[in-house]
Structure 1
Amino acid sequence: MSYVSEFTKFMNDWLTQHPEQQQERRDGRALWWDKPQDPALQQEPLASRVAQKPYPYQVD
């Protein structure tokens, strides 16, 4: 038998007693994390980067 922490035991028991929370957890995750990604929007920060000099304090 592998180790299971007290918190994991508590959460497993609590979720067994409150099955409606599973759907609320999925809804909350969808609200904050599972968003469709736009590849063009992700490329904007990369396109706006400015090349850095090898030694930034060198006077040209």
Structure 2
Amino acid sequence: MSKPTIDNYESEHTKFMRELFAKRPHLIEQQKEARAIWWDKKVNQEELKRFNESEVPQKSYVYFDWLQK
């Protein structure tokens, strides 16, 4: 067996996940569904615009306000 190099190295976790998905292909779809709960959401442009417009600028170095007094 040859030593792993950067070109052919595969972590134990990556190997485990690849083998798991090969044995149980239905998990791929379940993973996508679970990811969609928190990620891959469409952005509401109106809400994003309102959020950006309501931002209040913060003074830099707020922890050093005592220097300005």
Alignment deviations for residues 9-49 of structure 1 (CA, whole Å, 9 cap, x no partner)? 01111111111101101111122212111111112222113
Cα distance change of structure 1 residues 3 and 50 upon mapping to structure 2, 3 Å threshold: same
The TM-score normalised by the length of structure 1 is 0.72
How many residue pairs match? The answer is 59
From 36, 39, 48, the counterpart of 2:42: 36
Q: CA RMSD in A?
A: 2.4
Give the structure 2 partner of residue 22 of structure 1. 28
Cα distance change of structure 1 residues 10 and 53 upon mapping to structure 2, 3 Å threshold: closer
Give the structure 2 partner of residue 4 of structure 1. 10
The TM-score normalised by the length of structure 2 is 0.64
Higher relative contact order by CA 8 Å / sep ≥ 6: 1 or 2?
A: 1
Partners of 2:45 and 2:10 lie apart in 1 by 40
Q: What is the identity, as a one-letter code, of the residue corresponding to 1:38?
A: N
Question: Structure 1 stretches of 5 or more lacking a match?
Answer: none
